[in-house]
Amino acid sequence: MYRDLVEEYGPREAMEYDVVVVGGGPAGLATAIRLKQLAAQANREVSVVVLEKGSEPGAHILSGAVMDPHALTELFPDWRELGAPLAQPVVRDDVLMLSESGARRVPDALMPRVLHNEGNYVISLSDLVKWMAQQAEALGVEIFPGFAAAEVVYNDDGSVKGVATGHQGLGKDGEPTASFQLGMELHGRYTVFAEGARGHLGKQVIARYGLDAGRDPQAYGVGIKELWEIDPAQARPGLVVHTAGWPLDTHTYGGGFLYHLADNKVTLGFVVGLDYSNPWLAPFEEMQRWKTHPAIRAHLEGGKRIGYGARAIAAGGLLSLPRPVFPGGLLVGCDAGFLNAARIKGSHAALKTGMLAAQALDEALAAGRRHDELAAYPEAFEKSWLHEELHQSRNFKSWFKRGQAVGTLMTGIEHWLLPKLGIQSPPWTVHRHKPDHVFLRPAAECDRIAYPKPDGRISFDKLSSVFISSTNHEENQPAHLTLKDASVPVSVNLATYAGPESRYCPAGVYEFVKNEDDTDRLQINAQNCVHCKTCDIKDPTQNIVWVTPEGGGGPNYAGM
């Protein structure tokens, strides 16, 4: 579709930069900021542009978040003076094992060190990214929010030349309307992909250059999050709670988090591993009923929910990392998958990889190079504290693939027992071989899950939730959730798996409805999409492909 329009209305205009960054999240902005800092130190000029599909920086950023400030301090030693929004230090860590009505706190002595959060901060990553964008602009980075990088542009020699923004003003049928605006190309000597987990262009370059050859498949989770304003009497700023167990069964990986911010705010959420097997499972409903547990409900009674959102998480760790470089470009942050699932943290890794990438880019630019492969970046990563950290945690996801008991035991051994014996990193490596989408079992073989009705106070329905994500897409545009084969949703997904997309989508995008002749069809409510990418990951036949909608669309998160 794009090709034809370019032929018809093109050629596209192009702008030239030293470095084009796709995605204005922590990884992309850290890359851009570091590049500017390094160039300023060396008294050189560097032109850096950041494309961001959200309406403004931070609009599509959602995270827990407890942040380890290690990398931020490397990037901005004076972040306190610069007013970075890290206001609430962690004051207490609780890990709770939940049963249906009870909760057992894991004693501090048994807590693996990866779950200790002294020195860390409870933050809104969305707010931090807004702040980082201001710092980046002050350093001279060009940030263009509201523009989605829709396509990778290649040189004749096969290296990445840059990206093209999506066309604007297309009708539902894909035909140009009166306000049609052809996309434009941004060319860089190097292009940095920083789209976050399951990046839509990152996925393409990984496939094109075979970057994941010989690696374990990436493993994902979906995190669903809410922001609450609570009764001031319940406020315990700096309290960090993680839960395991109920309401998930022992075969399903996942858990909850609840963090107390300053100003009577609580951020809480639930993560479900996308390798779950029962198609009746609905992550959104698990999150809603999890909140009704006495140990969680107590924090929320008398409060008001003010934010909602969801995002897929790359949790495979070191064993799933693709080679992050290829001719003309590189992958940073969770576009590659640098998150540390054992620590339940990734933003420090996003910042760190952005900085390492910037170092390699800066050296290459200074040497007058372009469009080659920056091997210095993975080399620097292997020598970094981040690699050491991820190496320690490399088996985490593999153990949890074998159930909660094995996962808890082996993670305990690797992160609690071995360090006590002076062994920092386990001497064994456990691989995984199957991607998440193949784990789904036919609905007929699985137990239906009966979820309780929302009460409208603590638990809510999906549509009222999506409403407060402030998501919106220009209505008259082609759906950005595309199907490779339009018949598969009914003939496979509905027939065999009872339509799992209607349950795993946390935004109510997918709905099976009856035609007049009583046949079924899949209705795609693309305007509801919160850009979490779960469908692109979990669809059992990989028939759903997420592409970028018109820039500026999607959620408008604040404080998330």
Q: Which residues bind another protein (CB under 8 A)?
A: 13, 15, 55-56, 58-59, 124, 126-127, 130, 142, 144, 147, 165, 168-169, 178-179, 181, 184, 186, 229, 264, 306, 467-468, 470-472, 556, 558-559
Q: Which is nearer to another protein, 412 or 508 (CB)?
A: 508
- Report in angstroms how near the CB of residue 168 gets to another protein at its nearest: 4
- Minimum CB separation of residue 183 from another protein in Å reads 10
- Please report how close the Cβ of residue 459 comes to another protein at its closest, in angstroms: 15
For another protein, give the closer residue by CB, 389 or 550.
550
Between 127 and 436, name the residue whose CB sits nearer to another protein.
127
Smallest gap from Cβ 16 to another protein, in A, equals 12
Q: How far is the CB of 306 from another protein (least distance, A)?
A: 6
Distance, first Cα to last Cα, the chain: 35
Q: Which amino acid is at 430?
A: V
Written in H, E and C, the secondary structure of 23-50 is CCCHHHHHHHHHHHHHHHHCCCCCCEEE
Q: Is the dihedral of CA 129, 134, 140, 142 positive or negative?
A: positive
User: In the complex with another protein, which residue's Cβ is closer, 28 or 426?
Assistant: 28
Phi-psi region of 184 (alpha: psi -120 to 50; beta: other; left: phi over 0): beta
Three-state secondary-structure class, residue 356: helix
Q: Which residues pair with 329 in a beta bridge?
A: 191, 326
Residue (472 or 496) nearer to another protein, CB: 472
- Residue 138: exposure state from Cβ atoms within 10 A (0-12, 13-18, ≥19): exposed
Q: Minimum CB separation from another protein for residue 299, in Å? A: 17
For another protein, give the closer residue by CB, 165 or 353.
165
168 or 392: CB nearest another protein: 168
Pairing of strands 304-314, 220-229: antiparallel
Distance CA 295, CA 102 (A): 8
CA triplet 74, 80, 85: central angle to 5 degrees?
100
Q: Which residue is associated with the tokens 């523009």?
A: 147
In 123-171, beta strands by DSSP E: 142-145, 149-154, 160-165, 168-170
CB 507, min distance to another protein, A: 15
